[in-house]
Amino acid sequence: MDTSGKKNAAERAVKDGYALSETGSHEKARVAFRLAAGLFAEIGDLRQQAVAFYAAGNVCARMERGDEALDSFSRAIDLLREEGDRPAQAKAWTHKGLILVQQQRFQEALTCFEEALMLFLKGKEPMRVAEQWGNIGSVYRDLEQPDDALENYLRAHSIYRELGQTERIADQCTNIAYTRFMKQDYADALRWYREALAYYTEAGNEQKLRMTAENVERLEGALSEPAP
């Protein structure tokens, strides 16, 4: 097969992969994306090879094949670094970090989110930057380091307030409330949960509204009980 034929075959494989993924045929989609990555490698198209690996990583993640997803995202990162594509590289770092969190490999996940953060900061993408602060905060929360978690959640909260992202503000209020709860500062946790409640009401997210209302009710009840 000549270069033109390989390029056409690779592009068809990518198209098929996305179509198969949308119908839930994830294994066939994974094979298609891997085939595309191999063909793009043969013709030296690093950018499209990275795209194929990135897509394969997402499919593997949906299949709960974490190690293969990590391999695909790592390959995509290496290729995107060569191509100098910072935004796409940052997204791949983020997805890799999320897989590592699922595997409870928190220190490695933290490195991934920090890499993504540095790249998004260079690209001046405040929404993405805020997402990484939130991700980093959640890793510290999982590591039971509430002070570090709080610091990063507050950074994310500040950016979302500047951007007027109502539901995302509420999410960070909830995260902050939880870290205050971890530190046994129940009155301040209640204050942040109440703020989250107001934002979820404004955003119209009924599910999160109910969950937050339950947290508010429990804390109000606990704080109203007389000390032993």
3-state secondary structure the chain: CCHHHHHHHHHHHHHHHHHHHHCCCHHHHHHHHHHHHHHHHHHCCHHHHHHHHHHHHHHHHHCCCHHHHHHHHHHHHHHHHHHCCHHHHHHHHHHHHHHHHHCCCHHHHHHHHHHHHHHHHHHCCHHHHHHHHHHHHHHHHHCCCHHHHHHHHHHHHHHHHHHCCHHHHHHHHHHHHHHHHHCCCHHHHHHHHHHHHHHHHHHCCHHHHHHHHHHHHHHHHHHHCCCC
State residue 84's pLDDT score: 85
C-alpha 199/C-alpha 97 separation (Å) is 28
Reported as a single tens digit per residue, the pLDDT across 38-85 is 999 999 999 999 999 999 999 999 999 999 999 999 999 999 998 888
Q: State yes or no: pLDDT of 228 exceeds 60.
A: no
The model scores a pTM over 0.85: yes
pLDDT band at 227 (very low <50, low <70, confident <90, very high): low
Q: Which residues contact 167 (CB under 8 A, 6 or more apart)?
A: 199, 200, 203, 205, 208
State residue 107's pLDDT score: 97
How many other C-beta atoms lie within 10 A of the C-beta of residue 129? 21
Q: Which amino acid is at 77?
A: I
Residues in the chain: 228
Structure tokens at 136: 């980093």
The architecture in CATH of the region 125-223 reads Alpha Horseshoe (1.25)
Provide the percentage of residues in the chain whose pLDDT is more than 90.
Answer: 90
State residue 226's pLDDT score: 58
C-alpha 72/C-alpha 99 separation (Å) is 12
